[in-house]
Chains A and B, each alone.
Chain A
Amino acid sequence: SPLQQTQSYSSSQQLRTGPVEFPARLREMEDVKGSDGLGDTELRLGLPGTSTATRSAKRALPEGDEESHDELRRTSAAKAQVVGWPPIRSYRKNSFPGRKVEAEAAAGLYVKVSMDGAPYLRKIDLGVYKGYKELREGLDNMFKCFSLAELSRREGGSGSEYAITYEDKDGDLMLVGDVPWEMFISSCKRLRIMKGSEARGLNSRH
């Protein structure tokens, strides 16, 4: 998903130290290309600040370090964040409808969208939008055939006689746009485009 792909190179360091279960992956300082003072920010497969291991094909494990490395053990959620790992085609990942959590993390955040007055619902993947602006544009595009927003615009209304609301995890009807985007997409269960008149009760900011 786009969320995963925007992670910059340096921030991905943290994730990479995650899955290490045994502290055998320590590199020698001399091997770190970029002996230009960037050593501290150099990507390493071990705890920052740890000393290097001697080079040998069979690595002995320092006993005491096991506990601290357990702390770095990846959680299931963190595992999902390494782009392109495990190497499974998205087609296959997207094929399994079950198990909500994994489906959300990897295969898209599909929610139903209803519009008052429209004969049928649509489904969108919240994961493809980068923020609220894009979401609004996407919804506009999707529902423009019902020309209701257009109609209100032509009649001299502001064009935003419709409010976009969503149902959150607790089942409450909320106005879209109040909370940070990330929080929104993790709590949004379905979207509803409401007539302005009905939405006025929810309107707390505009």
Chain B
Amino acid sequence: MTYFPEEVVEHIFDFLGSHRDRNAVSTVCKAWYHVERFSRRNVFVGNCYAIRPERVMARFPGMKSLSVKGKPHFADYNLVPYDWGGFALPWINAAVRRCPGLEDLRLKRMVVTDDDLDLLARSFPNFRSLVLVSCEGFSTDGLAAIATYCRGLRELDLQENEVEDHGRQWLSCFHESCTSLVSLNFACLKGEVNAGVLERLVARCPNLRSLKLNRAVSVESLNEIVARAPYLVDLGTGSFAVDHHTDAYQRLMNSFSKCKSLSSLSGFWEASPHCLDAVYPVCINLTVLNMSYAPAIQADDLIKLISLCFKLQKLWVLDCIGDKGLAVVASTCKELQELRVFPSDIYGAGATSVTEEGLVAISSGCPKLNSLLYFCYQMTNAALITVAKNCPHFTRFRLCILDPWKPDPVTNQPLDEGFGAIVRSCKNLRRLSLSGLLTDQVFLYIGLYAKCLEMLSIAFAGDSDKGMVYILKGCKNLRKLEIRDCPFGDFALLNDVAKYETMRSLWMSSCDVTLGGCKALAAKMPRLNVEIINESEGSDKLEENISDLHKAEKMYVYRTVAGPRNDAPDFVWTL
């Protein structure tokens, strides 16, 4: 390869899509490292504390698109205190100084303030796309800044963020000359937007293909919008609260029938059963359907809708669909690749739910299924073994049995064999979440068979340190391990400390690791940050006589070349 001029090598590298491949080629030799770093346009940082932003920008001066992740995954479930960290500002600041040509920014689980958004909006003249996922710290004022200053904005995608509502004017800040929007998602906003402003914005953006409205957008407004944007591919419907006896409903039905390109639907926040008829004309083309925010739509109506969706590839529903509904999905949706079934009632009131039967039906009817998130009240080994046999192509398998430690109700056995069958059969499994009654045996299986596994989530499982040791020893490709409420302690933690440098991060909460164990880990591995989150009141300092035998309630360990972070709050101790 030394015979080829750099331009040729660079051209060859253009064919490398993933950042992992690019990372790999840059380690081959100095020449390749140099070619690669100047030609990399998309930069992905999986842990914002693993490296300093300045270093990233220095290495990739041609960066156009940056994606950064902040808080650990369990922050989604309120296990990480509010001001733990994950601030966007250092990244935006560094980009302002080093990469003024930045076009796209994607942030996940980070703290973003209005000032940050303002700085972002004013600093990058070519800025095209902002995607914020599960972030917090900003309000509609920040969005106003984005709308005002990002003249060529193509994408504003807000997914499940906590956004403070400071009024509806932000949408008006899109200048009359702004016609470049391709994707606009403000479904997570709680406040109202000005209907007229919204409709005019949609009307003047001919390239708009994805639009997700929030709950506050009325059906009347939806109607105007759909009528003006018949080329929409992806639509989040807003409230969809409409009386099917009204004219408004008739007009809606007409509008939908003109949407020949619509292939993805979501929203339906306040939809009531009969008003789904309006959507029937587009069902035949749907590849993505998300009904998981529509609690008023029960099984029968879901069934009527889904039985028209032959092309469906991705389906998110509530468990009120029931096993009966899942059987209909199985017989209709032969192209299904991803299924998520969320609980509609998490307090066990005994309403309709799904069981192992629904999952088995899906597995036998949908041969292309590769991604599953399934909440249920019970599961059997027999069912999991059948599912494993029917669907060997799973890459993501996340099962959540809502009662911790629940065994197979038929045999009273742990679910070791069932999950064992899954990992044995699904050779490409990359992500796995366990639940139910589980002993060390399941971890033996996982270590033995799950060679491609990258992310593992464990809760209320295992008997002893052996369980965790099996995982760390066997799963060669493990990147993220998150554990809560399991009897794993210092022995497992310290068994193979070098392993953690091959992983992005390890989270352990409510386990048996002690402060002493964590200190030992930190001492042995200087290139890991071992952070303890201590939330009990009155103990601010590590030095305050806390015995090494004291359990570490929450521990987060991650590899880093940036050293201990300088923005950790008082309750986070870096050992």
Against B, the Cβ 8 Å flags (1 = close, 0 = not) of A69-83 are: 000001011011011
Quote the shortest CB–CB distance from A87 to chain B (angstroms).
Answer: 5
CB within 8 Å of A: which B377-420 residues: 400, 402-407, 412-414, 416
Given contacts A58-B413, A87-B459, contact A25 B405 (CB under 8 A): yes
The answer on a CB contact under 8 Å between B487 and A22 is no
**Docked pose: A22 CA to B349 CA in angstroms:** 20
B535: interface (CB < 8 Å): yes
Quote the shortest CB–CB distance from B95 to chain A (angstroms).
Answer: 27
The answer on a CB contact under 8 Å between B405 and A86 is no
A183: interface (CB < 8 Å): no
The answer on a CB contact under 8 Å between A83 and B79 is yes
Q: Which residue of B lies closest to A96 (CB)?
A: B295
The answer on a CB contact under 8 Å between A86 and B134 is no
The answer on a CB contact under 8 Å between A89 and B160 is yes
Residues of A within 8 A of B545 (CB): none
CB within 8 Å of A: which B324-375 residues: 342-349, 375
Quote the shortest CB–CB distance from A142 to chain B (angstroms).
Answer: 13
The answer on a CB contact under 8 Å between B77 and A89 is yes
Q: Which residue of B lies closest to A25 (CB)?
A: B405
B81: interface (CB < 8 Å): yes
Given contacts A57-B441, A91-B188, contact A84 B347 (CB under 8 A): no
Quote the shortest CB–CB distance from B319 to chain A (angstroms).
Answer: 12
Residues of B within 8 A of A99 (CB): 345
Residues of A within 8 A of B160 (CB): 89, 91-92
A33: interface (CB < 8 Å): yes
**Docked pose: A33 CA to B489 CA in angstroms:** 7
Residues of A within 8 A of B404 (CB): 19, 82, 85
Question: Can you spell out 19 A-B residue pairs with CB atoms less than 8 angstroms apart?
Answer: A9-B536, A16-B485, A19-B403, A19-B406, A20-B405, A33-B490, A33-B491, A34-B512, A36-B549, A45-B487, A58-B413, A58-B414, A83-B77, A86-B343, A86-B346, A88-B77, A90-B77, A92-B342, A93-B346
The answer on a CB contact under 8 Å between A105 and B347 is yes
B293: interface (CB < 8 Å): yes
Quote the shortest CB–CB distance from B164 to chain A (angstroms).
Answer: 13
Looking at the complex, which one of A33, A84, A95 makes contact with B77 (CB distance below 8 Å)?
A: A84
The answer on a CB contact under 8 Å between A87 and B345 is no
B537: interface (CB < 8 Å): yes
Q: Which residue of A lies closest to B375 (CB)?
A: A86
B463: interface (CB < 8 Å): yes
The binding surface of chain A is classed by DSSP as: loop
B484: interface (CB < 8 Å): yes
Quote the shortest CB–CB distance from A35 to chain B (angstroms).
Answer: 10
The answer on a CB contact under 8 Å between B512 and A87 is no
CB within 8 Å of A: which B283-298 residues: 292-293, 295
CB within 8 Å of A: which B457-507 residues: 457, 459, 463-465, 484-485, 487, 489-491
Residues of A within 8 A of B77 (CB): 83-85, 87-90
B428: interface (CB < 8 Å): no
Given contacts A76-B348, A79-B347, contact A9 B549 (CB under 8 A): no
Residues of A within 8 A of B162 (CB): 91
Quote the shortest CB–CB distance from A144 to chain B (angstroms).
Answer: 17
**Docked pose: A5 CA to B416 CA in angstroms:** 31
Give the top 5 A-B pairs by smallest Cβ distance, nearest first. A84-B77, A33-B489, A91-B160, A76-B347, A84-B79
A101: interface (CB < 8 Å): yes
The answer on a CB contact under 8 Å between A31 and B463 is yes
Known contacts A22-B437, A33-B491, A85-B459; 9 further A-B pairs (Cβ under 8 A): A9-B553, A21-B407, A38-B549, A57-B416, A76-B348, A79-B346, A79-B347, A85-B77, A86-B375
